[in-house]
Every structure is written in structure tokens, then in C-alpha cells.
Amino acid sequence: MTQDPYSAAAASAARLAELTGSARHDIAVVLGSGWAQAADAIGPAETQLAFADLGGFPAPTVPGHQPAVRSVRSGQLSVLVFLGRTHMYEGHSPATVVHGVRTAVAAGCRSIVLTNAAGGIQERLAPGQPVLISDQLNLTGQSPLTGPPPPDGYPSRFTDLSELYSPRLRAVARAAAPDLAEAVYAGLAGPHYETPAEVRMLRGLGAGVVGMSTVLEAIAARHLGAEVLGISLVTNIAAGLSAERLDHAEVVAAGQRAAAGLGSLLASLLPGIG
């Protein structure tokens, strides 16, 4: 981005308000690989916009991610549903990867729900199972807060991440789905999958699920004062823990198979989140 990332997000949020006719939104939901059908369960789309209409959003190149955002009405709440995201492994900077989250906060969202497809490391996690993220390991070697300091009026870049994933929102999720598993999410740069040795390392570090997104978005959202809720869908068992070979097409297919149920879960959470 040639423009500073905060101004770019503010410009995208202004364009979003203009095109949707909504001055502000309450909650943003970022959908992971293959989750697009989950958007239908959240609520009817009042408007659907291409990323290209908002500025600052490159089109995702990964199957299972659509280059669009919906403005959805869920009860009394206005919800932004991102049907896809971009990743660093596509060649993007951290600022570009978190542009959607920063745009959502600039549009008024005080709660950000981040979802993803993940490999299961923790015992008893099975493909098709949703997992509540309790904390994260950012192993990408990057942060969205590096570079020049934020402009005047924005929080310090030295952000406290002690409660990165909101205890309040996690309590809402557990109340809505008492049997929801909970785990630490390890975020790696990708796009290759982890080796069995790396999976053993991650297990030793306390990770229960592993993926290639989310960690930078969570940091960016928390930096701007938003509450963050994270939900992973286990789409495969991590390398070395299963005889199955890892394949992105199967990751997308697993997300598609579970999407309707995941959408219903998200819809049940939104009233307590807003």
C-alpha cells in the first residue's frame, strides 16, 4: 500500500458506508476456506460488494475464498461478512492481509469474529469439528504493527495481547455451544503444510490447531480496541498424526460440508456478541 494503512482502511470504510447505505456496522465475520455457505445462515444479504469496489483489497487467489463482502442484517445487528481473505503466502504484506479487519473497525465494528480452516493437533479433534480459539502462537515472523508508528489518534503499536481472544466472547460461545472444544491456534506462514517434526514441536508448545491465517488479523483488531472471537474448523489431522496426505482441495471440501452448521453456530452467537 502506498497510502498509510490506517488511512486506507478509513477510505475503504467510507466507501463501504456509501455503497451499503449503512453509516456503521456492529460486527464483522471473516470466513475461512470453504465457509462461504455459512454466510447464508447468518442472515439475508442486504448488499454484496466486490472487494475491488472498496479499494485496498486484492482479490484472493486461493480456492475457497471469494473476493466479496456482504452487509447482513441479523436481528438488530448490522454484520459485515467477508467471504474470503488474503494471506501473506500470496505475496501480500501484513498491512494488506489485515486491511479487511481494519476496514471493519473503521466501519464501526467493535467485535471481530475470525474463522479458519485448521489442522488438528490436539488429541480427540476430528475433521469437521469446530474449535474455539483460546489463544494463539504467531509463528509467521511478522506483525501488522511493524513499520512507521500509527498516525495521531490511533493506539500505541505496543499492544497488550494478554486477552487477545476476548474472555467475554468466549464465554458467549461456550454458553451457546457447551460442547465446543477449545485450543491454542498456531499460525504459520505457509503455503506448504507443516512437517511431522514441526507438528511435534507445535504440540510441545501447547498448540491444538494449526493454520496459515488469523494471527495477524487478531493482532490488528485488538490493537484498534475491538474484541476478537476465533473459531477454527478442523479440516484435517496435522502431518504425522494421520496416514492421510494433506491436500487443499480436501480442506475446502471439508469446509463446504460443514458450512451450514457453522453458519448456524455463528448466527446463534451474534446476539450475545453485539
Name the residues annotated as catalytic.
Answer: 33, 65, 87, 89-90, 117, 212-213, 236, 248
What sections of the chain are H helices per DSSP? Answer: 5-20, 38-42, 94-97, 99-106, 167-176, 196-205, 215-223, 248-273
Cα 110 from chain centre: 15
* Cα 216 to Cα 219: distance, rounded to the nearest angstrom: 5
CB 234 within 8 A of CB 127: yes
Burial annotation 24-37 (CB, 10 A radius, 16+ → b, else e)? ebbbbbbbbbbbbb
By the 8 A CB rule, do 210 and 199 touch? yes
Is 169:229 a contact under the CB 8 Å cutoff? yes
For the chain, the residue count is 274
Distance, CA of 167 to CA of 229 (rounded, Å): 9
Residue 46, all three cell numbers: 442486504
Name the DSSP letter for residue 144: T
